[in-house]
Amino acid sequence: MTGAVVDQDVCSPQAARALPPEEFQRIFVDRNRGVVDAADQARISAARILVAGCGSIGGAAVEPLVRLGFRSLALADLGTYELTNLNRQNATVDDLGRNKAAVAADRARAINPHVAVDVATDGVTEETLDALLAGVDVVIDGVDVTTRSGLAAKGLLHERARARGLPLMTGWDMSGTQYVRVYDYRREQRLFGGAVTRRQLDEMPLWELLARLVPARKVPRDLVGLIRRGLHRDEFTFPQLVQAADMFGVLAATLTVRLVTGRPVPSSATVDVHRLAMPSGERLWDRLRQPVEVAGLLLAMTRGARRRR
């Protein structure tokens, strides 16, 4: 594809790094032209985005944000990379043991050396959150939900975003499905859209919380069976795949552009890449079987909740 208006492209790292920031940015986003107009590109360049949690989904959002032209990021994560992360997260063997937010910051600066990145290696806490949210336009919530401490951090993040009237999005990578939920706290006053209260977030069993936060119709059929078999097993862990994690980056970056340029966004967006890759007959069967299997899962969860009471 042709049509670039740059006088002469830059073909060496030394020459690129020697450019003044605005000249670098002009050339860097040149191929956005025609899809992103000059006024919107200026809004993107001026916006500040918080990515809270830089693992599977949060980490997937950083690179597309930078490549679209966002130049001001706050990144927070207390976790470090382990080998089991590398099947889906944006890291390499050389990053093992390093803080996830710090790795994401290095990646952002390697793409655009003029990106301003603030890093909180303590993650989302009472002590870090006010500084992280300062001047932020959009919050991307990638905070882990597999631990009580993670759930507490997620609740705190949503409370502070609501208090500041900030739009926030989060995602759920489920097998080949990415379900993105947007909570527009500029208008929405209920935490998590009213799905759960802060007290429930602190006290409710994980399975019941997930059932409230993720609509059953969004859970892919292959994962439904796995959940049902592992429902009451302490050793059960959710499988996570790169297709769904990377899809969050695509969707989150697109939604963020719409938010900072003043365009409306849906309350949710879902992409099932496994179903999209199926031939039509298999896709139809998958679509018809999914609600039946979800009903069985919900029944099993209800019975389990009754036994606990």
Quick check: 53 and 124 in contact, CB under 8 A? yes
| 55 assigned to some structural domain | yes
* H-helix segments, the chain: 13-18, 21-28, 38-46, 58-68, 100-111, 129-133, 148-164, 198-203, 206-213, 221-230, 242-260, 273-276, 280-308
- Residue 306 maps to a domain: no
Q: Is residue 284 part of a domain?
A: no
The mean pLDDT value for 92-114 works out to 99
Q: What's the pTM?
A: 0.93
Answer yes or no: is 3 within a domain: no
The pLDDT score that the predictor gives to residue 23 is: 96
Residue with structure tokens 């063997």? 93
Confidence check: pLDDT of 6 > 70: no
What distance in Å separates the CA atoms of residue 224 and residue 66, rounded to the nearest whole number? 35
In 3-state terms, what secondary structure has residue 171? strand
**Total domains in the fold of the chain:** 1
Asked if residue 302 is part of any domain, the answer here is no
Domain presence at residue 296? no
Domain that residue 120 falls in: 13-214+238-277
Provide the CATH number for the domain around residue 30: 3.40.50.720
In a domain, residue 304? The reply is no
Contacts of residue 205, defined as CB under 8 A and 6 or more positions apart, other chains included, come to 305, 308
pLDDT exceeds cutoff 70 at 121: yes
Residue in the block written with tokens 């926030």: 168
**Could you tell me the pLDDT band of residue 147, with boundaries at 50, 70 and 90?**
confident
Q: Rounded to whole angstroms, how far apart are CA atoms 93 and 81?
A: 9
307 pLDDT tier (thresholds 50, 70, 90):
low
In this structure, is residue 285 part of a structural domain? no
